[in-house]
Structure 1
Amino acid sequence: MGPRVVLVEPQNAANVGFVARVLANFGLCDWALVRGVEWRGSEAERTGAMARERLEAARRVDSLEQAAAGCTHLVGFSARPGRHRRLLALPALRAEVEPWGPEARPALIFGREDRGLDAAETERCSLLVTIPAAELASFNLSHAVAVALYEWFRGSAAPPPAAQGVSWAPAKERERLAARTRAELEAASFPGTGELEGTLRRLAARPMEARDLRVLEKVLRHAQYLRERHG
């Protein structure tokens, strides 16, 4: 299964049509638009005329959380690193994602044409990827999607045996775990809870096997039980 493509607040309708064509080039149908320009009755109908079915398939949502619902790994594309986050060069992406295995449900996240993804959006991403460039660092939106998908599918092969059958925790469950951890620490008057905020955001953003998430949930339940029992 290929990745989901998410465009965050696209501003140029023509780009939306071109991205629809790119998705058709790679045989993908799963994509979402987080707010942004309305493509119906716009230039997108001309630039995406050869991929009308893809245009019709685009889901329009109000938040990145809705766009990535059900996805286990969020791969953000940016020319700027996030806070305390490194940028992975696109040619290294394949080696990074192969261990995820066939159970992974990745989403490729692309930002606005003029300023890309904001800090809060990059914090939600499991990986931040940059497309190497010689001079001008930013790519046209549809070009970035095309280059990213080419690299994603280039030389793709079956995952190694160790990755077979891995079940990944969806992003929403990781976020719920981070929120519950924060609440439990505050309830226990843990010193320096605020200093852990970045750690908890990274916990929610990074891939996690479902079995590991279940273990951590058990730890939290036991911690809550002990706290309530001993006051």
Structure 2
Amino acid sequence: MSESAAVRGPVIILVEPQMGENIGMAARAMANFGLAEMRLVNPRDGWPNEKAEAASAGALHVLAGVRVFGSVEEAVADLNFVFATTARERGQQKRVLGADAAMAETVAQAAGGAGVGVLFGRERTGLDNGAVALADAIITFPVNPAHASLNLAQAVLLVGYEWFKASGGTLPFAENERSVPATREAVLSFFNYLEGELDAAGFFTPPEKRSIMVRNLRNIFHRLRMTDQDVRTLRGAVVALVQGRRGGRNPPRKARAPEAGETGA
């Protein structure tokens, strides 16, 4: 589901981003999940940025709509609700949510007409406490505590992914439709044929274990939930093996002895 087909997605606000490449990759992550509104607060290398365009992988529509602000206060002034992303506790007595819960809330808020923004901090140091203080709640991610810092674009991607799911996004394709399930008659016919050939090959030994071995073998195939096509393919494969062993159609060729001058390799 694209943003235009649903409620307005959260505004992605990058506070003092240091590298154009990260801005571009964040724009790419936004485009992946139907987000289109990016704001920048004092980007270190100015704006526009050629490196951002090169790293955006075609998400130029996101970059074309970027708005630049001189402060976080200005960037969030028209929004009704703001999240701040951070990897560490700030002691500010704010609600702390995972991205999934935060984006579920965002869908509900945006459906009511509220503008929602998500703040992301500098690549090296994240958001300062002043920026976090402007937020209504905190988003953090379940990560390895020994390596908790996320790349800026990765953090944007996680939020975008949860937004897309919460707003009704679906997988781009589904499992190919399988052929109809095999009838019990076809399955039993295959079992009888297979077990008869295994008997002829001396597979079921010792004889007193035959019933258990047959049951185990059948259960293997039952777990496959075989379709009609599966049964026909498996039966054809066994037929080919049996006929080949007996010198029937298309028997395997005998290896030709190397002629003079050949290595045989």
Q: TM-score range by the shorter chain?
A: 0.5 to 0.7
Aligned mate of 1:48, from 53, 56, 66 = 56
The answer as to 2:42 corresponding to 1:32 is no
Q: CA deviation at 1:41?
A: 4.7
Distance 1:94 1:22 in 2: 16
Say yes or no: does 1:139 pair with 2:150.
yes
Cα 1:63/1:98, change in 2 over 3 Å: same
1:98 offset after TM fit, Å?
Answer: 5.2
Q: Which has the higher contact order (CA 8 A, sep 6+)?
A: 1
Correspondent of 2:13 among 3, 6, 11? 6
Larger deviation, residues 109-118 vs 92-101:
92-101
Alpha-carbon separation, structure 1, partners of 2:150 and 2:161: 15
Instruction: Measure, in 1, the Cα distance between the counterparts of 2:98 and 2:59.
Output: 30
Percent identical: 36
Structure 1 residue 93 corresponds to structure 2 residue 74 = no
* 1:158-173 alignment, distance < 5 Å: none
The residue that corresponds to 1:119 in the other structure is: 129
Q: 1:16, 1:39 within 8 Å by CA — same for their partners in 2?
A: no
Instruction: Name the count of aligned residue pairs.
Output: 157
- Specify the alignment match of 2:77 in structure 1: 69
Query: Residue type matched to 2:134 in 1?
Result: R
Task: Name structure 1 gaps, 5 residues minimum.
Answer: 158-231
Q: Measure, in 2, the Cα distance between the counterparts of 1:45 and 1:141.
A: 16
Equivalent-residue separation in structure 1 for 2:124 and 2:49 (angstroms)? 23
Residue 122 to residue 61, structure 1, CA distance change in 2 (3 Å):
same
Pick one of 152, 162, 166 that aligns with 2:163.
Answer: 152
- Is 1:23 the counterpart of 2:35? The answer is no
CA distance in 2, matches of 1:145, 1:71: 18
- Decide whether aligned partners of structure 1 residues 14 and 39 sit closer, same or farther in structure 2, where only a CA change above 3 A counts: farther
Do 2:107 and 2:166's aligned partners in 1 also have CA atoms closer than 8 Å?
no
Q: Deviation string for 1:66-95 (max 9, x for gaps)?
A: 211311000111012232335323333245
Which amino acid in 2 is paired with 1:102?
A: G
Name the CA shift for 1:41/1:152 in 2 (closer, same or farther; >3 Å): closer
Superposition CA RMSD, Å = 1.9
Give the 3 Å change call, closer, same or farther, for CA 42–124 of structure 1 in structure 2: same
Q: Deviations over 1:6-64 (max 9, x none)?
A: 00000111001111112222232211100023253542121025122221211111011
Counterpart in the other structure of 1:130? 140
Counterpart in the other structure of 1:184? none
Give the structure 2 partner of residue 166 of structure 1: none
Residues 75-128 of structure 1 show CA distances to partners (whole Å, capped at 9, x for unaligned) of: 111012232335323333245445534221100111111111111111110111
TM-score normalised over the length of structure 2? 0.55
Question: Which blocks of at least 5 consecutive residues in structure 2 are unaligned?
Answer: 1-7, 169-265
Q: Larger C-alpha radius of gyration, 1 or 2?
A: 2
* Conserved? CA contact 1:39–1:45, under 8 Å: no
Q: Distance in 2 between the 1:91 and 1:47 partners?
A: 27
Residue 2 of structure 1 and its aligned partner are, at CA, apart by 0.8
